[in-house]
């Protein structure tokens, strides 16, 4: 096994250089990837029995095959976005029922959850509408936890807005920097716990970035 591991980098380097050249076109060359997998398979056959190869590498190979198929679908210019998604789902549905399929399905649900949440929030969806969508995708317990997170985030946003207003008022009222900072610190301690106070500077920067993106 150690001998096998020592031989792998040479194959990866050889095909990595080829893939780098192909990537200049903006797409992954799946033919190069397939050839690399063939060379790796031949290398495994030199050192392991079929049973060992299955035990050691079957899960890795299955996930690699899935990843390659997802890229192939994504790069198919003849398919619409809807057809691509249908083809992806069809491929996943035909995979064996195992932990890999479960993990892929879970990740797909999470991605769908994030996309739908962003879209629905942008359209002003109610808390109940968000809960119903999440319940259908990830189940009632997870939907309830996410609703709680939403409430906590909304509460933090409200306090942060209040904090920003008080901070700006203090900055406008005095030129004594030490006094101003002491008063700002007092406001922070009144509105936020210790863990939340550590988030303030990063949260303010994120809000500024979001505003800039909108503009």
pLDDT digit string (tens) for 132-147? 999 988 889 999 999 9
Confidence class for position 214, pLDDT limits 50, 70, 90: low
**Going by C-beta distance under 8 Å and a sequence separation of 6 or more, which residues neighbour residue 47?**
1, 3, 4
Do 152 and 199 share a domain, yes or no? yes
Q: Per the domain annotation, does 6 fall within a domain? A: yes
Do 128 and 188 share a domain, yes or no? no
- Please report the pLDDT score of residue 141 as a whole number: 93
**Going by C-beta distance under 8 Å and a sequence separation of 6 or more, which residues neighbour residue 157?**
none
- pTM beyond 0.85: the answer is no
Q: pLDDT tens for residues 17-29?
A: 777 766 666 677 8
- Comparing 58 with 109, the larger pLDDT belongs to 58
Do 28 and 83 share a domain, yes or no? yes
Do 13 and 82 share a domain, yes or no? yes
Do 107 and 178 share a domain, yes or no? no
Domain that residue 179 falls in: 148-214
Do 52 and 119 share a domain, yes or no? no
Helix H segments across the chain? 2-23, 30-47, 50-74, 81-93, 99-122, 127-138, 140-173, 177-191, 194-197, 200-214
Q: Per the domain annotation, does 143 fall within a domain? A: no
**Domains held by the chain: number:** 3
Do 17 and 34 share a domain, yes or no? yes
Do 31 and 54 share a domain, yes or no? yes
Q: pLDDT tens for residues 47-101?
A: 999 999 999 999 999 999 999 999 999 989 899 988 998 999 899 999 988 889 8
Do 12 and 81 share a domain, yes or no? yes
- What are the backbone dihedrals phi and psi of residue 125, each rounded to the nearest 5 degrees, phi first? -65, 145
Do 111 and 91 share a domain, yes or no? no
Do 77 and 122 share a domain, yes or no? no
Do 102 and 87 share a domain, yes or no? no
């Amino acid at each position: 096994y150690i001998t096998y591991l020592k031989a792998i980098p040479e194959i990866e380097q050889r095909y990595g250089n080829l893939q780098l050249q192909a990537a200049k076109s903006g797409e992954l060359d799946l033919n190069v990837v397939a050839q690399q997998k063939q060379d790796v398979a031949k290398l495994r056959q030199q050192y392991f029995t079929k049973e060992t190869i299955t035990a050691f590498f079957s899960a890795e190979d299955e996930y690699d095959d899935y990843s390659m198929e997802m890229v192939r679908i994504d790069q198919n210019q003849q398919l619409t976005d809807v057809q691509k998604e249908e083809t992806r789902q069809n491929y996943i549905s035909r995979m064996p029922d195992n932990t890999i399929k479960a993990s892929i399905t879970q990740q797909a649900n999470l991605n769908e959850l994030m996309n739908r949440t962003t879209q629905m929030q942008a359209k002003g969806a109610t808390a109940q509408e968000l809960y119903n969508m999440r319940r259908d995708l990830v189940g009632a317990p997870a939907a309830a936890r996410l609703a709680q997170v939403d409430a906590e985030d909304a509460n933090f946003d409200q306090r942060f807005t209040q904090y920003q207003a008080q901070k700006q008022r203090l900055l406008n009222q005095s030129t004594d920097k030490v006094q101003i900072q002491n008063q700002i610190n007092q406001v922070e301690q009144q509105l936020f716990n210790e863990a939340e106070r550590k988030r303030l500077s990063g949260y303010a920067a994120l809000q500024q970035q979001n505003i800039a993106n909108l503009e």
